[in-house]
Structure 1
Amino acid sequence: MSIPPEKREWLCLIPDKPGKQEKRLEIRATHLGNLKPLIEAKKVVTGGPMFHAHNDGDPKFKGSVMVFRAETEAEVREILNNDVYNKGDVWDLEKVQIIPVAILIKEQP
């Protein structure tokens, strides 16, 4: 199956650095606000936080999971490098996993 470059999707598992929960929460609104243009440009397909465990109380963040639409892995890395979670020293991009995927099943609004 050949996927046109403009339709390539990339699953990213982005771990947080240890001890960065407070910093993550401090800059979270900025992170989410900065994603809006990427979502509008259809470069972000989906995403959200990863947890050490599901609970109903205080979540213990483990990192982020995101799916990007980009022509190349280098483009995905550029987006990650420019994110406030990276610049704020929350994400551990040395341990990021970027996996080529094709999202075929999507929840309908």
Structure 2
Amino acid sequence: MSDLFGKLKQGIDKSTKVIGAKSASLIDSNKVKSEISTLNKSKDELLSQVGLLVYEADPLNFSYELVRSSVEAIQSLDEQIRSKTEELEQIKLETEEKLHEINK
């Protein structure tokens, strides 16, 4: 009887650890996804601004300098998005490793 309760306790402990690992991963993933979404919205706004500047510019006097700062800001956002995407992948890998350790 004692062995049955021991196995039951082990099962509950293991389930609790799995739920904890998955919950932490979900919270972290959602935070990073939200940050990526915000960065993408900012990028879309800048792209629209660049398009409007180019559209409204005098074709005979257009220069790249007109949109340089916006393009550099877009490139910066692209780098931040790449970084956050890598962070998201790292969270997934760490969660898989934790689950693998728990299931040993």
TM-score (norm 1): 0.24
Q: Going by fraction, where is helix more abundant, 1 or 2?
A: 2
Higher alpha-carbon Rg:
2
TM-score (norm 2): 0.24
Q: Going by fraction, where is strand more abundant, 1 or 2?
A: 1
